[in-house]
Structure 1
C-alpha cells in the first residue's frame, strides 16, 4: 500500500520551522502536528523494574558486590548509569566508557573478549570485580564475565533459560526457548529437562520475532551474544545483564559457581565462534 501511494505522489513539502529540542521531554506543535519528546531512559528503567527484583539487586550491591559494565562508548552508557549506579546503587565508576561517542571512542563496540580486552583484563585476579559485562553499539548484544570466568553467549542463554524464574517477570516459567542454528545446544538440554519447547532458527532475529509474536517462546538468543525475551520482541543487552544480576542476587553464588553448577547438572557444550 505504501509503494502504491508513492507512485501517485507528484511533490512533497518541507516545513521550515524551529528545531525541536530532542534532548528534553515535552510536547511541541509543528504546523498543527503534535510532536512529543519522551525520555527513553526513564521509560526503559521503569520497564526493567517490573521484570526484576531491584530490591534484591540493590541489597547485593549494598553488601559489597562489585561490578564493571563497559558501555564501549555506545548507546547503553546513559541507561547503565541511571539503572546500575543511580537506581541500584552500584558504586560510582562501575559503568566505564559510559559516554556515547560518534566513533565509539576510537574503538570497536563489539562485546567479545577481543574488543573488550580492557574488561577481560580487569576481571582477572583476586581483586577483580565480582561481575563484568559489556554491550555493543546499539545496545542489543551483551557479554557476561565473572571473576576469572568468561561466559560464552551460548552458555549464558542456557543459564538464563534455567534460572529466569528467579526474576519476578519470569516467575511463571517460560513458554519456550529458541536459539539460532550456529548457537550451541546447551539451551536444548535445559528445555528438555524443563519440558518446554526449544526451537532452532536460521540466523536473524526476525525468526525469533515470529515465535515471540505467536507466544511460543519467552526467551531467545544467538551465538553472537544477542539475548532477548518477549518484553520487547528484540535482543536487549542491558536486560540480559540485569537478569544475570537478579540471578546472582537470588542465589548468592559467584558466576564461576553458577557455571560449575550448570555444567554439573546439564553437561557441558564446548563451543567457540571465530570471526574472519
Structure 2
C-alpha cells in the first residue's frame, strides 16, 4: 500500500465558486497550495471518496496538464480507486457529463474557464460536477467555499506523473488512472439522438457548412463527428486543433470573437450553415447564409422542431430557460401545451428540472442550449440538432426562422455587455436599480408594469435563490434586465438585456438595434450606465 502524504497549508482568500466553478488568472492558480486547497475542499465536501471513481479532464488551456497531474495524485491520496481522464487531458464539459452519467462515477472535476481567454497571463478554472452529471448545486459550492476558509492541510501521493497521451490503465499509488478516448462515448450518444443517415445525405447532396472550433476543445469532437461519421468535406471544421492559448483568440462564440466564421457566412459564396463553440464545448452560435440566429430564437426553433429528431420523437416534457433569455420559447411551450420554466442564470438551476423529468430542452441567452441527454449545456449537440432539422425540412436557416416568427411572433432581443468595469461601480449601479420603485411610471413611450430583483424558488427541491437580476417590465410585455455576470476574472461584467415582442411580420426584418433603440436608451438612462461606469458604449453587442 502506498502511503499518502499530508501537506500543511493555509487558507487563500477569494476561493468562492461563481456560477460555474472557480475562475482566476493562471498565476493565481500556480501559487503553491492554491489549486491543492480547492481540490481538497472539494474532496472534503462531497463525502467519503474511498473506492470511488472520478472523471477528470479539461479544455486544454494553459496549465491544464499540470493541474491534472496534481489532481490525480491528490485523488490517490484521498482514497479514490480510479480516475478516468480524457486522453491528452482533453474532455469537453458536455462529454464529461456524458461520461459521469454513463459510468456512474462519483462526479467529476472539469478544468476550464469556458469562453474566457487562455494562456500564461489569462484565465483558468475548475469546477466539480455531481454524480448526476451537472454542476454542483449551491449547497455543495457553499460547502466547498466554507471548507476553503478553514483548510489547514491537504493529502497527496508522492509518485511520478502519468502519461496522459497513451490510452490505457496505469497504476498511481493504489489507484488506477484510466486514460480514455474523450470523444467515443459522446459520439455514441449523439448517434442515439439524431438521424445521422439524414445528415450524411444532406452533406452528400452538396450542403456546405463551417464549424469554428476556435482552437478549443470541440476540435477533436467536431472532426470525428462532422468530418468523420457524417462525411462532411475535409476543411468543414475551422481552427480544429486545441491550443493552450486558443491561438491567441478569445474562445467565445459570438459575432465579435468568431469573426472569421461570421465573415465566411456573410461573404461571397457563403456556405449554407455556420456554427461555433467555445473553450470547453458547452456553448454554440448558429448562423445561416447571411443570417444570425440569436440563442433565444435557437432554443425556440429547436423546441418547435424537436420531434424531427429520433431522440425527441415522443415530444418534450417541458422547456426551461434562464430569466434573461427571451420569452420566444414560452410561446412554443404554450402552443405545445407544455410548461416553460424560468430560472436564474446558471446551468445548475436546470438540473433538478431535468432529473425530475419536468423539462427536456433548456437554454440560456448566453449561447447555451441543451437537453436531458446530459446535465450541461452542449454546443456540438445544438449544432447536430440544427443539422437534423435542416436535413428533414430541406429549407435554409433564414427561411426556417422567418417562418417561425410568422407563426409565433418575434421576440426582438439584444444583449449589451460592459466588460471589466470597476467592481464597486458595478455594484453601486445594481444597488441603485434595486432601490427604484417604478411601477406605474412612464419611461419614454413605455409604462412600467413592475420592477423587481428576480428571485427563484425551485419547484422540485424548494431551494430559494435571490438577487438574480433586476427586471423592469412594461405594460406591453417589453422588458429590460440588468445583472452582473459571474464568469469573469477581472473587474465586473454588466449585462443589459432588452426585449420587445413584435407580432407584425412586416416588422420582423428590422435590425434589433434599430427596433429596440428607444428601450436601449431608457435602460441606459435609468441605470445611469455612463455616469456610473464611464462607458459610453458596450464592449460587445449580441
TM-score when normalising by structure 2: 0.49
SS in 2 for 1:199: strand
- Residues 254-269 of structure 1 aligned to structure 2 (within 5 Å): 254-269=396-411
How far residue 27 of structure 1 moved from its aligned partner, in angstroms, is: 1.6
How far residue 102 of structure 1 moved from its aligned partner, in angstroms, is: 1.1
Alignment CA distance shift 1:124-1:215 (3 Å): same
Confirm whether residue 214 of structure 1 aligns to residue 356 of structure 2.
yes
How far residue 29 of structure 1 moved from its aligned partner, in angstroms, is: 2.2
| Structure 2: distance between partners of 1:265 and 1:11 | 59
Alignment CA distance shift 1:13-1:106 (3 Å): closer
| Structure 2: distance between partners of 1:274 and 1:63 | 39
How far residue 11 of structure 1 moved from its aligned partner, in angstroms, is: 7.4
Q: Where does residue 14 of structure 1 map in the other structure?
A: 157
Alignment check: 8 A CA contact 2:159 2:172 kept? no
Alignment check: 8 A CA contact 2:159 2:173 kept? no
Q: Where does residue 154 of structure 1 map in the other structure?
A: 296
| Structure 2: distance between partners of 1:8 and 1:184 | 42
How far residue 126 of structure 1 moved from its aligned partner, in angstroms, is: 5.4
Alignment check: 8 A CA contact 2:286 2:298 kept? yes
SS in 1 for 2:415: coil
- Indicate which of 323, 328, 345 corresponds to 1:181: 323
| Structure 2: distance between partners of 1:59 and 1:266 | 30
| Structure 2: distance between partners of 1:173 and 1:8 | 48
| Structure 1: distance between partners of 2:188 and 2:253 | 25
Confirm whether residue 228 of structure 1 aligns to residue 270 of structure 2.
no
- Indicate which of 154, 178, 185 corresponds to 1:36: 178
| Structure 2: distance between partners of 1:185 and 1:228 | 17
How far residue 206 of structure 1 moved from its aligned partner, in angstroms, is: 1.1
SS in 1 for 2:411: coil
- Indicate which of 83, 102, 127 corresponds to 2:244: 102
SS in 2 for 1:36: strand
How far residue 233 of structure 1 moved from its aligned partner, in angstroms, is: 1.0
SS in 1 for 2:417: coil
- Per-residue Cα deviation, 1:96-121 (whole angstroms, up to 9, x for no partner): 01111111111111111011111111
- Per-residue Cα deviation, 1:23-51 (whole angstroms, up to 9, x for no partner): 23212223332222211111111111111
Q: Pick 1 or 2: higher relative contact order, CA cutoff 8 A, min separation 6.
A: 1
| Structure 1: distance between partners of 2:154 and 2:359 | 45
Q: Where does residue 213 of structure 2 map in the other structure?
A: 71
Q: Where does residue 141 of structure 2 map in the other structure?
A: none
| Structure 1: distance between partners of 2:327 and 2:152 | 51
Q: Which runs of 5+ in 2 are unaligned?
A: 1-42, 49-146, 419-542
Alignment CA distance shift 1:270-1:12 (3 Å): closer
Alignment check: 8 A CA contact 2:250 2:257 kept? yes
Q: Which structure's residues are more often helix, by fraction?
A: 1
Q: Where does residue 57 of structure 1 map in the other structure?
A: 199
Count of aligned positions: 275
Alignment check: 8 A CA contact 2:323 2:343 kept? yes
TM-score when normalising by structure 1: 0.95
SS in 2 for 1:227: strand
Q: Where does residue 2 of structure 1 map in the other structure?
A: 44
Confirm whether residue 139 of structure 1 aligns to residue 281 of structure 2.
yes
124-133 vs 217-226, which deviates more? 124-133
How far residue 53 of structure 1 moved from its aligned partner, in angstroms, is: 0.6
Q: Which runs of 5+ in 1 are unaligned?
A: none
SS in 1 for 2:412: coil
Q: Which structure's residues are more often strand, by fraction?
A: 2
Q: Where does residue 130 of structure 1 map in the other structure?
A: 272
